[in-house]
Amino acid sequence: MPSPTRKEDRSQPLLKLPKNQTPALLTMHDGGEAQVFLFVAPGDHVTQVIEDTARFVPMTFSSGTKLVAREAIAAIRVHVMHAPVEDELPGERQLAVVRLTSGKELRGEIRWVAPEHRRRMLDFLNNDTSHVVVHDTEHVIYIAKAHVVSVEEV
């Protein structure tokens, strides 16, 4: 039987790339929520947590670092100071309620830049991106499209 692994022998301390610890509210596929810290490399964006192709993503919980299945992540909410906000770009804006498979509802403004002939919310939701970004007064919420049941324009 293998001996228990000491903390310093685990693979996590081997990851020595510089990362910023970005505070976030994580919403899982079942509606469960947790305050976490995301590891975001300088110059990268929080969207990589949802967009990346790796199956697992490390996050720091109050109990320590865990590897979370990316497909189980429904939404990530961060303060606007940790998210790029493109207020100056011309584009579409629509207040909406996004309902997740867990039954949770997220409200805010969806913003997107679209070609003239593809300006509808439907066109935007059916594009190739894996997520929808919802803005509220102080937060930006990155929602995985795979966990969206409906979007209601309000």
> Rounded to a whole number, what is the largest CA-CA distance in the chain?
65
| Average pLDDT score over residue span 21-39 | 96
Residue % of the chain over a pLDDT of 70: 83
Residue 119: per-residue pLDDT:
85
Q: What single string gives the DSSP state of each residue in 60-98?
A: EETTEEEEEEGGGEEEEEEEGGGS---TTS--EEEEEEE
Give residue 51's pLDDT band: very low, low, confident or very high (50, 70, 90). Answer: confident
Domains of the chain: residue spans and CATH: 18-78 (2.30.30.100), 81-153 (2.30.30.100)
pLDDT at 8 over 60: no
- The 10s digit of each residue's pLDDT in 69-112 is 999 999 999 998 888 765 556 688 999 999 999 999 999 999 88
Return the beta strands (E) in 101-138 as ranges: 105-112, 131-135
| Average pLDDT score over residue span 10-34 | 79
CA quadruple 68, 50, 80, 123: dihedral sign: negative
| Average pLDDT score over residue span 53-62 | 94
Query: Do you know the residue count of the chain?
Result: 154
Residue 68: per-residue pLDDT:
96
pLDDT at 18 over 60: no
Is residue 6 classed as helix, strand or coil in its secondary structure?
coil
Q: Over the chain, what is the mean pLDDT?
A: 86
| Average pLDDT score over residue span 1-8 | 55
CA distance 137 to 48: 23
| Average pLDDT score over residue span 140-153 | 96
**pTM, 2 dp:** 0.84
Report DSSP state, residue 4: P
Give residue 52's pLDDT band: very low, low, confident or very high (50, 70, 90). Answer: confident
